[in-house]
Amino acid sequence: MLTATRILTWFIIAIWLTGCAIEPEAPTASATPAPSSGKKKERRYLRFPMDTAISPQYKFPKSARSIDQALYTFAPAAIDQLKPYFKKAGVSYPPQEIVLIAIKDEKKMELWARDFGSFKLIRPYSIKAASGMRGPKLKQGDRQVPEGIYHISRLNPNSNYHLSMKVDYPNDFDREHAQVDGRSDLGGDIFIHGKSVSAGCLAMGDAAIEELFVLAAHVGTDNIKVVIAPSDPRLRPLDTTHHSLPYWTGELYDQVTREIFTITQAKPPVKLAHSHPSHPIYRPVN
């Protein structure tokens, strides 16, 4: 009788363990039903923020990892991937400063770094997803990726999207013009993170965010700048003519253009110099 009881007990435990093993995973953010045409449509945004800011009252669960723990996991491989790029550019690792230049319409991010002196291009990254369109972010829920000159305010090793770095939107420029416009709910929680979906953030994929997160931790958030442009001003002047853009977009795009030209030391194409003589960046040099 005792033997039969033990057998029954082990049989129940085996069934329970099997059930845990085959329990379906929760749907991921990137999962979408196939459209009726039969072609799989790539999802580019979510209906909720990509990440959440951690308030002072928030208490991490016991399982939450620290930045040091994330570095222990991801730093060895990330450094192995990054060091050849730094060596080729003639910049030591880690550098003194880095700048991330994001070009929205090309879905491209450039990593620039320097020890002393001028910045050097280290490597480009593909942006997996960036929702919205040309133009600055104006309010909560518009799904716009901000445009302007920003910094990284903190690193989040417990992101819902693998790892993330919080962009300090809204910055002083955003707040000042919102006050003049009478706008109050500017939104926030803009991140550079992993995975490949976006609701106003820059989704870089997991491999890229591991490199960027590790680099940011080693450089320090105070030494990181993020410049986000609608298109590449090194190829053509940033267009401010669309009717949906606020009146102060020209001022914003002048700042972004000057910052990118200063960092990259680029010279505008000659063919644009005569087409746009009124723009100081594109004025021909005698």
In this predicted structure, what is the pLDDT of residue 64?
A: 87
| Residue 156, SS3 per DSSP | strand
Domains of the chain: 67-236+245-282 (2.40.440.10)
Predicted confidence (pLDDT) at residue 4 exceeds the cutoff of 70: no
Q: What's the pLDDT tens digit per position in 151-170?
A: 999 999 999 999 999 999 99
Predicted confidence (pLDDT) at residue 172 exceeds the cutoff of 70: yes
150, 168 contact by CB (below 8 A)? yes
Q: Please calculate the CA angle 91-97-100 and round it to the nearest 5 degrees.
A: 95
Pairing of strands 164-167, 148-156: antiparallel
Let me know if 258 is exposed, middle or buried by CB neighbors in 10 A (0-12, 13-18, 19+): middle
- What secondary structure letter does DSSP report for 144? P
Q: In angstroms, rounded to a whole number, what is the distance separating the alpha carbons of residues 102 and 148?
A: 10
pTM of the entire predicted model: 0.75
In this predicted structure, what is the pLDDT of residue 198?
A: 87
Q: What's the pLDDT tens digit per position in 74-109?
A: 999 999 999 999 999 999 999 999 999 999 999 999
